[in-house]
Amino acid sequence: MKNEIIKIENLSFDYGDHRVLENINLNIYNDDFIGIIGPNGSGKSTLLKIILGLLTPTEGRVFLFNKSPKEGRKYVGYVPQYAHIDRNFPISVGQVVLSGRIGHTDFLRRYSKIDMDIAENAMKIMGISDLKNTQIGKLSGGQFQRTLIARALSTEPKLLLLDEPTANIDIQAETNFYDFLHKLSEKMAIVLVTHDTGAISSHVKTICCINKTLYYHGEKSISLDVFEKLYGCPVELIGHGIPHRVLKEHED
C-alpha cells in the first residue's frame, strides 16, 4: 500500500542572508527510491537535514511520517556526507554499528540479544562482519563508509537517507553497493543524494533535480534542457555502457 512518508510544502531556507532553498514542494512515498542530484552548493544536503529536523526551515512546513521532523526521525536511518568521528577513538566496527540501537534501548540498559543480532545482520549485509573487532582508525575509506551505512541499517529504518554514500568507495564496491540498495528499496524508502547521475540511472525509480529550487521530479530519464537549467550551462553527458551516448559539448 502506497503511503506518503515525507511532505514538503513551500519550503525555503536561509543561511543568514543567503537563500539556499526556495519554494520546494515535494512528496515522497514508502515505495520510493529517489536520487537527488544537483551541483555543489545546490542545497541537497541542507534539504536532508531539514527533513531530519536538524535545521528549521525559514518558510514552509515539513512532515515526516505525518509527524514533525524531530518526532518522525526515529524511523529514519541517516548517513551524512561527512561523518565527524575521531578515527583515533578506541571503538570497534561492531561498537559503531551497535550504537545505532541506542534509540531503541534505555540509556542505562545494556544492549539486548535482539539488538546484537540486528547489528550483526547489518554488518553481514554490508560485508564487514570480519571487521567487527577492528578499531575504526584501521579501516580504509570504503570500509569506514560501509560501517556507517551498517549503523544506519541497524536502526531498522522505514526510510534511509544517504548523502553521497559512495564517496571513498572503489568502483567495484560502488557497483555492489548500488545493487544492494536496489534490493533494499523493496523493503524501505530510500533517498539518495549524489553527483553520480550515470551510476544511479539504472537503479533509482525517480530523480529529483535541485539547485536552490526544484527543477524536476519524475522518472529517471531527464531531458538535456533540464540538465542545462539545473547546472546553469551547456552540459556534456556520457552514458557508459552500450551504446555510449554523448550529448552536446560546451560551445566556445
Domain ranges of the chain: 4-87+142-221
pLDDT value of residue 52 = 95
pLDDT of residue 202: 72
pLDDT score recorded for residue 70: 93
Digit-coded pLDDT (tens) for 69-92: 999 998 999 988 766 667 778 899
Find the Cα–Cα–Cα–Cα dihedral 32, 214, 57, 9, rounded to 10°: -70
Please give the Cα distance from 231 to 42 (Å, whole number): 9
Residue at 224: amino acid letter? L
- Under the banding of pLDDT at 50, 70 and 90, the label for residue 175 is confident
Residues 190, 160 contacting (CB under 8 angstroms): yes
Place 33 in a pLDDT band, splitting at 50, 70 and 90: very high
Specify the pLDDT at position 104: 66
What are the angstrom distances between the C-alpha of 173 and each of 62, 113, 142, 196, 221? 34, 30, 8, 14, 25
- Which tens digits make up the pLDDT trace of 110-136? 788 999 999 999 999 888 999 999 999
Average pLDDT on 22-35 reads 94
Q: What percent of the chain has pLDDT over 70?
A: 82
Alpha carbon distance 79, 151 (integer Å):
9
Q: Is the pLDDT of residue 233 over 60?
A: yes
| pLDDT beyond 50 at 18 | yes
Q: 232 vs 40, 66, 211, 224, CA distance in Å? A: 12, 35, 9, 12
pLDDT for position 235: 58
Q: Give the pLDDT confidence score for residue 165 in this predicted structure.
A: 81
Mean of pLDDT values over 199-216: 83
CATH number assigned to the domain covering 4-87+142-221: 3.40.50.300
Q: Is the pLDDT assigned to residue 247 strictly greater than 60?
A: no
Q: What is the pLDDT of residues 130-160, one digit of tens each?
A: 999 999 999 887 788 888 889 999 999 999 9
Average pLDDT, the chain: 83
Report d(CA 35, CA 190) in Å as an integer. Answer: 8
Instruction: Give the model's pLDDT for residue 244.
Output: 40
Which of 34-38, 57-61, 154-158, 210-214 tops mean pLDDT?
Answer: 57-61
